[in-house]
Chains A and B, each alone.
Chain A
Amino acid sequence: QQQVKQSPQSLIVQKGGISIINCAYENTAFDYFPWYQQFPGKGPALLIAIRPDVSEKKEGRFTISFNKSAKQFSLHIMDSQPGDSATYFCAGTIQGAQKLVFGQGTRLTINP
């Protein structure tokens, strides 16, 4: 019930292409879905988050698409750049529960 499943585990995209990472969740009590970005040697950092009553949220080249009926959401990185190479984690959380439930992570490599 708590799980968040993330795919693919690794992804290679050419510079300028679109990177797409998918997540599915089971717990319908989740009310926020954040994405974290982690560079080598660093801790994860919050990238963008969405509520389930919104179908899409865009911040610069990063967009979250949300499908509540399918219990799925995805991160799209437009015009992917080598500097976007990192590990990305999706997560679900319940406001006030103080806990994040993370997906398995996706290692993204952008080839120049």
Chain B
Amino acid sequence: DVKVTQSSRYLVKRTGEKVFLECVQDMDHENMFWYRQDPGLGLRLIYFSYDVKMKEKGDIPEGYSVSREKKERFSLILESASTNQTSMYLCASSLSGLPTYEQYFGPGTRLTVT
């Protein structure tokens, strides 16, 4: 079974703090994704990576950056957290050989910025 783990289930940070969200997958997947999930807005793609050290902007990259130094690990960074970044953050991975629609998700990190 593919396993995608996220470093924290719940996180509370203050406005202006630098925040790191970590994601690890154990199935040697090439592609990794960061989404945020908000009620009524669905899942929106922040960034994705199709290889180590490669990254591409998704639909809402403003205020975020990412890092992928190892194939299994993909980090989302909030350089200066703001209250409008309070959300559920979901990490996902997929294998390049599989259909594009088959992504495996972690359980999510609920981030609250006060």
Within A62-112, the residues touching B (CB, 8 Å) are 89, 91, 93-100, 102-105
- Whether the Cβ atoms of A32 and B42 lie closer than 8 Å is no
Q: Does B44 contact A (CB under 8 A)?
A: yes
Q: Does A45 contact B (CB under 8 A)?
A: yes
Of B92, B100, B103, B107, which one neighbours A97 at CB under 8 angstroms?
Answer: B100
**Chain B residue nearest to A46 in the complex (CB):** B102
- Whether the Cβ atoms of A100 and B106 lie closer than 8 Å is no
- Whether the Cβ atoms of A32 and B105 lie closer than 8 Å is no
Of B40, B48, B99, B104, which one neighbours A99 at CB under 8 angstroms?
Answer: B48
Please report the C-alpha to C-alpha distance between residue A41 and residue B6 in the assembled complex, in whole angstroms.
13
Of A9, A93, A98, A104, which one neighbours B50 at CB under 8 angstroms?
Answer: A98
How many of B's residues come within 8 Å of A, CB to CB?
26
- Whether the Cβ atoms of B106 and A95 lie closer than 8 Å is no
- Whether the Cβ atoms of A103 and B42 lie closer than 8 Å is yes
Please report the C-alpha to C-alpha distance between residue A6 and residue B101 in the assembled complex, in whole angstroms.
17
- Whether the Cβ atoms of A98 and B99 lie closer than 8 Å is no
Of A41, A43, A103, which one neighbours B90 at CB under 8 angstroms?
Answer: A43
Q: Does A42 contact B (CB under 8 A)?
A: yes
- Whether the Cβ atoms of B105 and A105 lie closer than 8 Å is no
Within B81-114, the residues touching A (CB, 8 Å) are 90, 92, 94, 99-108
